[in-house]
Amino acid sequence: MDLSVNLSGLHLDNPIVPASGTFGFGREFAEYYDINILGSFSFKGTTKEARFGNPTPRIAECGASGMINAVGLQNPGIDAVINRELPELKKIFHKPVIANISGFSIEEYAYCCERIDKEEQVGIIEVNVSCPNVRHGGMSFGTSPEAAAEVTRAVKAVTTKPVYIKLSPNVTDIVAIAKACEEAGADGICLINTMLGMRIDIARRRPVIANVMGGFSGPSIFPVAVRMVHQVSKACNIPVMGCGGVSSARDVIEMMMAGATAVQIGAMNLKNPYICKEIIEDLPRVMEELKIERLSDIIGIV
């Protein structure tokens, strides 16, 4: 069984990639298992300045369907990531990592991406133009083809490594935005980020999170993610990393058949810290059951 895939020239032993914001900088999960079994992982979304994030409560479960969060891009800032987090990560993770970058202006995106591009450990830069949790932040860039393309061009002008643009599902035409990013020079697309949702605590008569609305994620959004991955992979000629509601090896294979070259696992990491390990271990069994010799053979077969 061959689980390996090639992501913009980066060899991954398998397509499993924990999603940004659900895996920190790897240290917490390294206490549970050897994280080097992962294909790679996308580290916590990083901005120019340190951010404390939104007021609490900022995460809540929504029954079996998933969870809602409005963390607000809490992170230590680009300087701390380069000077502290990456050297610590190098001690426990011996593969190229995916750097997730967010920003509040074109200049901030370009500044952070240019800085992180110089780091040897970084294999791919993932640019988040889709976070729905920060007021006046990434979402405004990701909801317009022109704005998404502008971010893409600015980042590509100052980087040498593959750049993947992470898109929001909270739009009317995901294909138009993805194609605009491709035409602006993106090396790949990651989708989907969380959907915008809200829940109310009916006993307390107030929203369950302080931010009122937040990112809805978990198994319930999987069909939306599969649909968007399929649409974008058919319309674009660059690789897609699929993300959204993935919770099993069978989900991974379904996402790859829809067109994903690699598959990110998000919300389930927060529910079960062993989920990525379990999926990697289960993939050969499911591949055998479905008579799949190489995972790379099924990418986009539907």
Q: Which residues are catalytic?
A: 131
Contact 151, 130 (CB under 8 A): no
Residues with Cβ within 8 Å of residue 118, at least 6 apart in sequence: none
